[in-house]
Amino acid sequence: TPKPTAEPTPKPTAEPTAKPTACSDATDWGYKGKSNKDCAWVAKKPEKYCAKDDGDDWLALSACPVTCGTCGCSDSTTWLYKGKNGKSCDYVAKKPSKYCDS
């Protein structure tokens, strides 16, 4: 604003969104609502049970991504190139041909 105002003005930009959370299995999913048929149950036969849904169209594949192996790929938040501070995945990404195997 050209002059100071009595009231604060709106923020000029939106706040940043939170980082995605780590991939994890849901604790509230159960095949057909049964608590004993959770992601641990799916883990016994993932090739068979990952396609099951809970009766409300929530597939085990989505509810149990760790168990079903469907977690997406993401950069490590703790890894450092040669253990050196400031040389995170972002650093390596600037020159992948130098630091990464093809």
In the numeric block, the tokens 């991939």 are attached to 23
Lowest mean pLDDT among 17-26, 40-49, 89-98: 17-26
Q: How many other C-beta atoms can be found within 10 angstroms of the C-beta atom of residue 82?
A: 6
Distances (CA, A) of 24 to 34, 65, 71, 79, 93: 20, 7, 8, 20, 26
Contacts of 85 (CB under 8 A, 6+ apart): none
The model's pLDDT over 38-83, given as tens digits with 9 standing for 90+, comes to 999 999 999 999 999 888 889 999 999 999 999 988 888 899 999 9
Question: What residue type is 72 in one-letter code?
Answer: G
List phi, psi (to 5°) of 59: -70, 145
Delimit the domains of the chain by residue range: 28-71, 73-102
pLDDT at 88: 93
pLDDT at 1: 56
Distances (CA, A) of 49 to 6, 27, 70, 71: 61, 16, 14, 17
Q: What percent of the chain has pLDDT over 90?
A: 53
